[in-house]
Amino acid sequence: MGRLAIIGGGAAGLAAAVTAARELRMLGVPGDVAVYEADERVGRSILATGNGRCNFSNARIDAGAYRNAAFVGSALGALTAGSDPVHAFFADLGLVWREEGEGRLYPLANKATSVLDVLRAAAADFGVREACGRRAVRIDVPDRPGGRFHIRFADGTVGHADAVVLATGGRTARELLPEGIGFAAARPVLGPLRTATDVVRHLNNLRVRCAVTLAGPDGAPKAREAGELLFRDYGVSGIAVFNLSRFAEPGDRLLVDLLPQMPEGDCAGFLHARRRRLSADGRPLSREAFLRGMLLPAVARAVLEEAGLAPGAPFAKRDVPTLAAALKAFPLEVRGMGDERQCQVRRGGADVAAFDPRTLEARAVPGLHVVGEALDVDAPCGGYNLHWAWASGILAGRAAATRLMGSDDVAQGEGR
């Protein structure tokens, strides 16, 4: 009986386990599929997603949005055509979902537990073994063709397998990968950004609807996002900022457009017309009063300060170009990532160049697959990261099952 060891019982590991065990069951091939999980239960990472609701996929997945987009495009293309195979996988498990804004998919019951429940139930039905509290510390690759992998655990035990799926997520240790596979130390991204605090500390917890451009030190735009921005005393947060954080470097600038619906060329005209209207009845019109009803007072004060306009002075015609510039590109200097505990993924991990995108199998180590966030793949918010975890897990699970079908019946069991 062939053995498949899946290291890590998160999103990608469970998708790989269910896929492999289901394929073996459907073909009537005996096989042992085990999930080794460091935590005392599988799937805890899934429960934390989407604020407990699990934005598990997106209706409009675009491979171009991923880091290492060509590799991801080949991998997603290798899943069967027709309806999205990740969605078909979950439909087969019984999950029902609904679509929210921007194609985000959530389970109908609105709870991440629904997603984990269908995965665990299928895993149990197909005979997957869950081995929790088992932290893998090293994987010894076969020393001869047809040989077995030896997986060493922190508790001193050793497991043996014909194929291994490494699904240990963004914190994957370099030591788990064989030498020769490129590896970039991972750093958290997809989270809040720390900025110069002179402005933001006066705006803590205020939200604005805006568009934000991330510009490099030379002023060249690197990325743009629209949505809600949340000011924090250390910087800025919100989905638009999370997405920009994937490209941000210290020294970059965020240029916040506080009038995102208005083309830049129309802004001065709008401000002139507003000035005429608000002063038509002879009321005094200070610069602060000019922005009243348009921006939150604290935001208005910050914009005026940025523009170098004293709030109490009368709003003059000559103020229009300066104010228009500050409203369309309110600048914040990026200092680095903000609260790393809020970051949703880690950038880095195993170099995709070492893997076949159709199977996620290491080119130099047949039978070893690396999936999910353990690979150097990440994407914006919106269900993209979990979609990758499921998709890569399914591909690796399929390929590993195929390998097990051809493996000899030389099971060794586990020992110290």
Ligand X SMILES: Cc1cc2nc3c(=O)[nH]c(=O)nc-3n(C[C@H](O)[C@H](O)[C@H](O)COP(=O)(O)OP(=O)(O)OC[C@H]3O[C@@H](n4cnc5c(N)ncnc54)[C@H](O)[C@@H]3O)c2cc1C
Binding region for ligand X (CB under 6 A)? 7-13, 36-39, 44-45, 48-50, 54-55, 135-136, 167-169, 344-345, 372-374, 383-386, 389
Least distance in Å: CB of 174 to ligand X?
A: 12
Least distance in Å: CB of 241 to ligand X?
A: 15
Contact criterion met (CB below 8 Å) for 297 and 203: no
Least distance in Å: CB of 63 to ligand X?
A: 15
Measure CA of the first residue to CA of the last residue in the chain; give whole Å. 21
Judged by CB, which is closer to ligand X: 7, or 395? 7
Judged by CB, which is closer to ligand X: 136, or 299? 136
Least distance in Å: CB of 191 to ligand X?
A: 9
Q: Identify the three-state secondary structure at position 363.
A: coil
Rounded CA Rg of the chain: 26
Judged by CB, which is closer to ligand X: 49, or 258? 49
**Angle, vertex CA 128, rays to CA 371 and CA 37, nearest 5:** 55
Q: What does the CA dihedral 9, 12, 15, 20 come to, rounded to 10 degrees?
A: -90
Give the span between the Cα atoms of 211 and 273, in whole angstroms: 23
Judged by CB, which is closer to ligand X: 51, or 83? 51
Least distance in Å: CB of 28 to ligand X?
A: 29
Listed in sequence order, the residues at least 6 apart from 37 whose beta carbon sits closer than 8 Å to its beta carbon are: 8, 9, 13, 130, 131, 132, 133, 134
Give the span between the Cα atoms of 85 and 174, in whole angstroms: 31
Judged by CB, which is closer to ligand X: 288, or 339? 339
Least distance in Å: CB of 243 to ligand X?
A: 12
Give the span between the Cα atoms of 237 and 244, in whole angstroms: 10
Least distance in Å: CB of 248 to ligand X?
A: 18
Judged by CB, which is closer to ligand X: 172, or 195? 172
Judged by CB, which is closer to ligand X: 171, or 317? 171
Judged by CB, which is closer to ligand X: 86, or 345? 345
Least distance in Å: CB of 104 to ligand X?
A: 8
The CB-nearest residue to ligand X is: 10
> Which phi-psi region, left, alpha or beta, contains residue 336 (left: φ > 0; alpha: ψ -120 to 50)?
left
Q: Which of 81, 91, 71 is nearest to 392 (CA)?
A: 71
Give the span between the Cα atoms of 111 and 55, in whole angstroms: 10
Listed in sequence order, the residues at least 6 apart from 334 whose beta carbon sits closer than 8 Å to its beta carbon are: 193, 194, 195, 214, 248, 249, 250, 251, 252, 253, 254
The two tokens of residue 207 are 């939200």
